[in-house]
A and B are shown apart, each in its own frame.
Chain A
Amino acid sequence: MKKYLFIVKTQIIKSLTYEFNVYGNILMQTIIMITSAYFWRALYSGQGVVGDVTAESMQTYIIISSALSVLLITGVEQRIGRSVERGTVATDMTKPVSLFGMFFAEDIGSIIALIFQNMVPILLIGSIMIKVPVMADIRDLPLFVISVVESFLINWLIAALFGMMAFSTINNNALIQVKKHLIRLLSGSIIPIWFFPEGVAKVLSSLPFIYIYQLPLSIYIGRGTRAEHLAQMCIQFLWLVILSALFLFVHNRVTRKVMVQGG
């Protein structure tokens, strides 16, 4: 365990080397956040409540969604893709650590750095330029935190599963892009699925994606009752279990098929 903590620490140091990246990401997130805020303001135009949600709550939803997207950045897919492409996976495998344990620790390290580099600035910009995103009911905070942790894990496992394809197909960049945009679209991070036609919404609620963004966000803005939230968190947990099982199953197979490129 200690060695993984040290990997986390080293990754924080590494992440702090690249300042320019950080500004770029803040800028991009700010643009997305502000355009969606204005977009929703325009759509609501005068109507107080749409889909049980007030315009005010929707603004909060957007700001927290942007902040949450920082937590849901994963490096594992590119990390695997890159190390397979360059052949450095060879040196990873001669270390007495579990490969995915190391990747997980690296992602945690990057995210800790990003919380300070990105999340805090985004929340500040959002508070100043849009509104202060206060939680609807502070008593839901524990529920919110737990659901965020679970959504982080679900998101990471999906990323790791995509990353594993790189062990056999070598170049997985296109797939990573597809996955990234699918998650953004289907998770309710930009458009909550209660705005989708009922049929589509039904299908989406049986997929894992909305449990990444929409569930914690709904808890935050207080859409739905606590009983509904708890029921949805059960489904979220179920997805976590399913994906973990799938991960373990694929993991054992895939590491035997590692390709080392060149020399």
Chain B
Amino acid sequence: MIDVNGLCKDYTIKKKGAGLSGALKALVTKNTDVIHAVRDLSFHIDEGEIVGFIGPNGAGKSTTIKMMSGILTPTKGSVLINGEDITKNRKEVVKNIGVVFGQRSQLNWDLRLGETFELLRHIYRIDLKDYENTMSVMDDILGIKELLDKPVRQMSLGQRVKGDLVASMLHSPKVLFLDEPTIGLDVSAKYSLRKFIKEINSVRKTTVILTTHDLGDIQELCDRLIIINHGVMMEDGNLKEITDRIAPYKTLVVEYYDEDAPEHEKCEMISHEGNVARYRFAKSDITAADIIASLSSKKAIKDVSIEEAGIDDIIKIAYGK
């Protein structure tokens, strides 16, 4: 479906000193810096996958998405969508893709939402029957029909994102790119957005590629994560695999009746506050049941709970590498 081979993107930026003197100097001298935003990314995405691109700010996620959707031309490497190179044949290949940027809208500020959709219907040459089909599906998921007569400039962010999602799906693309789609949305808007992504993925087999900083998005949506930092791929796999690989431990939280907490040779006590002690242990070494059994033989236990390595831990570890 999508093949990315040795993708690189360099930016040349003008070096500017600080302050007024720096700005003036930059007018006459030509000091440039090359920034390697994306370095040698290669991966393959199959039809119907939901892939999450994650990484800290400035990691190169958006640049990668922009190259994959034909907006930026790669410095090196190629992106093939259905076997076709997007930089060589942009006008044709983009018919198969939809793009939503959470931070900028493709809707037309001066028009009503329905008028923007009509324009897109003509641009993509969608026939009226397909268009109405899609609209009724979208109405079921997002309740879009009540917004059609509203001018885009009067919409709330949540409504606008809904509009953008529908706009990107009108031509039933095979691949949908979402760049931080949930940014700034409230809980219920996030919920309907996630429902929308799951729905189009299962019903229409749309391949979805999204970048996000929202842990909920990752947990609920992504079959597969690609973690990028400094333009380099750090991890690629599903959440469980990555967790097992980089954070193969759990934390056992034990509450005793007093402040005295015993140690255990196979796990590390990572904190001890009041009556509560936390033990971290490797999943492959020992089971939680064994630790509880051996601890309770030493001291009476009031309560226990087990914490998996959370997704934020994983991300922290992966970003830190």
Contacts and interface: CB of A to CB of B under 8 A. Distances in A.
B101 A263 contact: yes
A86 B104 contact: yes
A241 interface: no
A231 interface: no
Contacts of A238: none
Interface string A1-27: 011001100100110011000000000
A14 B71 CA distance: 26
Contact of B125 (A3, A10, A88): A3
Contacts of A256: 73, 87
B104 A96 contact: no
Nearest to A97: B123
Contacts, number: 81
Contact of A98 (B91, B110, B118, B120): B91
Contact of A90 (B71, B73, B87, B115): B71
Given A10-B119, A95-B123, A263-B179, A88 B104 contact: yes
A42 B136 CA distance: 68
Contacts of B123: 3, 6-7, 95-97
A17 B108 CA distance: 12
B92 A2 contact: no
Interface stretch (B62-70, B238-246, B252-260, B301-309): B62-70
A124 interface: no
Given A90-B66, A94-B94, A256-B73, A17 B110 contact: yes
Interface string A110-126: 00000000000000000
Interface in A142-200: none
Interface residues of B, number: 34
B124 A96 contact: yes
A129 B147 CA distance: 48
Interface in B94-136: 94-95, 97-99, 101, 103-106, 108, 110-111, 115, 118-120, 122-125
A75 interface: no
13 contacts: A7-B122, A10-B111, A10-B118, A14-B108, A89-B71, A90-B104, A93-B71, A93-B94, A94-B69, A96-B95, A98-B91, A256-B73, A263-B179
Given A2-B125, A90-B101, A91-B99, 6 more contacts: A10-B115, A13-B115, A14-B108, A93-B71, A96-B91, A263-B101
Interface in B168-217: 179-180
Interface in B130-158: none
A6 B119 contact: yes
Nearest to A14: B110
Given A10-B111, A258-B72, A260-B71, A91 B104 contact: yes
Given A17-B110, A263-B103, A3 B71 contact: no
A260 B91 contact: no
A233 to B, nearest CB: 35
A113 to B, nearest CB: 12
A2 B118 CA distance: 13
B106 to A, nearest CB: 4
